[in-house]
């Protein structure tokens, strides 16, 4: 697979009024950049995603994988920024070339909506438009409860840009022993998940089967769907899941944990993978 340059995350400064009790002062504040990213396959636009400009190729590769647009990393041929894009979009359009012999129904793939940075699934016309073409997740391993207790702190400690702006979500993949494998940040938690999956996709590797995905914030249907498509069997979040997220986790055979903070959590599905 051919990869051309990727941009780095951007943090910009904005003038603000900082109010503390009855006092106000003029100050500068760091804010995370948010920009649209258009994905093109064979010169056809298939999606526009609002994202944090960083690890764009991982985001695209992960998006193609978790949305079922490709079945394996080997189906990717090349990913690059569009050389014909005009300012200020030189690095806001990514072109994908599929591997030789791989064909796609582009009309069927085109999502025709702007994916919100806060929620990707709500832009789709209906829940019926989403289909998961993935097998039930294998349940042949367990994770120690003591390992789970430390994941949130480890994730927060690795969030570099969040420390500057306080405005980013994170997705972090850990092994069974609680060691951090990869962490990505984005204004959208579903984008952060795609970046984690894309990290492995660009290396032509599957996501490690016996791993745990930790996400900041809540867990939506789409987050569980993406984890299922990537073959991730254990998922935890700082906040609560939605009803559809719980239903999908149970259907997929996933272990889904919510409110994982300190030494407590709720197990919504697949509690048999947790060893006490």
What DSSP line would sit under 161-185, residue for residue? HHHHHS--EEEEEEETT--EEEEEE
Cis omega (within 30 of 0) for bond into 88? yes
CB 224 within 8 A of CB 248: yes
Chain center to CA of 127: 19
Letter string b/e over residues 53-68, b meaning 16 or more CB atoms within 10 A of that residue's CB? bbbbbbbbbbbbbbbe
- Please name the residue that has the structure tokens 């080997």: 74
Q: Which residues are catalytic?
A: 119
**Beta bridge mates, 215:** 171, 237
> How far is residue 42's CA from residue 209's CA, in Å, rounded to a whole number?
32
| Alpha-helical runs (H) found in the chain | 56-66, 106-109, 145-149, 151-157, 160-165, 189-201, 221-229, 243-252
**Beta bridge mates, 25:** 18
């Amino acid at each position: 697979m051919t990869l051309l340059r990727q941009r780095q995350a951007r943090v910009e400064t904005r003038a603000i009024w900082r109010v503390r009790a009855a006092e106000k002062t003029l100050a500068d504040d760091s804010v995370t950049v948010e920009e649209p990213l258009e994905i093109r396959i064979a010169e056809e636009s298939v999606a526009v995603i609002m994202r944090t400009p960083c690890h764009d190729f991982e985001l695209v590769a992960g998006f193609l994988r978790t949305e079922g647009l490709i079945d394996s990393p080997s189906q990717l041929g090349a990913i690059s920024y569009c050389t014909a894009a005009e300012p200020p979009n030189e690095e806001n359009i990514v072109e994908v070339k599929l591997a030789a012999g791989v064909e796609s129904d582009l009309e069927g793939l085109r999502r025709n909506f702007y994916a919100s940075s806060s929620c990707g699934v709500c832009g789709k016309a209906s829940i019926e438009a989403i289909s998961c073409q993935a097998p039930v997740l294998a349940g042949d391993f367990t994770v120690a409860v003591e390992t789970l207790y430390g994941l949130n702190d480890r994730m927060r400690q690795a969030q570099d840009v969040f420390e500057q702006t306080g405005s980013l979500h994170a997705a972090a993949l850990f092994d069974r022993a609680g060691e951090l494998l990869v962490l990505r940040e984005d204004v959208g938690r579903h984008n952060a998940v795609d970046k984690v999956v894309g990290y492995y996709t660009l290396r032509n590797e599957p996501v490690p089967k016996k791993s745990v995905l930790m996400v900041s914030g809540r867990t939506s249907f789409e987050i569980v769907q993406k984890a299922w498509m990537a073959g991730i069997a254990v998922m935890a979040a700082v906040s609560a899941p939605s009803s559809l997220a719980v239903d999908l986790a149970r259907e997929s055979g996933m272990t889904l944990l919510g409110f994982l903070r300190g030494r407590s959590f709720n197990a919504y599905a697949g509690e048999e993978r947790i060893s006490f």
